[in-house]
Amino acid sequence: DVQLTQSPSSLSASVGDRVTLTCRASQSVSFYLNWYQQKPGRAPRLLIYSASNLYSGVPSRFSGSGSGADFTLTINGLRPEDFATYFCQQSYSGPFTFGPGTKVEIK
Amino acid sequence: QVRLQESGPGLVESSQTLSLTCSISGVSINSGGYYWNWIRQHPGKGLEWIGYTYYGGNTYYTPSLKSRVTISEDSSKNLFSLRLTSVTAADTAVYYCARSAGDFGNSIDYWGQGALVTVSS
Report the distance separating Cα B39 and Cα A94, nearest Å: 13
What DSSP designation does B104 have? G
pLDDT over threshold 90, residue B121: no
Q: Which residues contact B31 (CB under 8 A, 6 or more apart)?
A: none
Asked if the Cβ–Cβ distance from B108 to A53 is below 8 Å, we say: no
| Predicted confidence (pLDDT) per residue in B44-79, tens digit | 999 999 999 998 889 999 999 999 999 999 999 999
From chain A, the residues in CB contact with B69 under 8 A are: none
Q: Which pLDDT score is estimated for B56?
A: 80
Inspect the interface and report whether the beta carbons of A34 and B107 lie closer than 8 Å: yes
Q: Do A32 and B100 touch (CB under 8 A)?
A: no
Of A43, A53, A94, the CB nearest to B60: A94
pLDDT digits over A71-97, tens only? 999 999 999 999 999 999 999 998 999
Q: State the nearest Cα–Cα gap between B115 and chain A, in angstroms.
A: 10
The shortest C-alpha distance from A98 to chain B (Å) reads 6
Q: Mapping DSSP to helix (H, G, I), strand (E, B) and coil, where does residue A51 land?
A: coil
Each residue of A16-75: pLDDT tens digit? 999 999 999 999 999 999 999 999 999 999 999 999 999 999 999 999 999 999 999 999
| Nearest CB to A91 within list B60, B63, B107 | B107
Predicted pLDDT at B13:
98
Q: Is the pLDDT score of B85 beyond 90?
A: yes
- Separate counts of helices (H) and strands (E) for chain A: 0, 10
B53 vs A contacts (CB less than 8 Å) = none
Given a cut of 90, whether residue B117 has pLDDT beyond it is yes
What confidence category does residue B32 fall into, taking pLDDT thresholds of 50, 70 and 90? confident
Tell me which chain A residues have a C-beta less than 8 angstroms from the C-beta of B48: 98
Res B55: pLDDT: 82
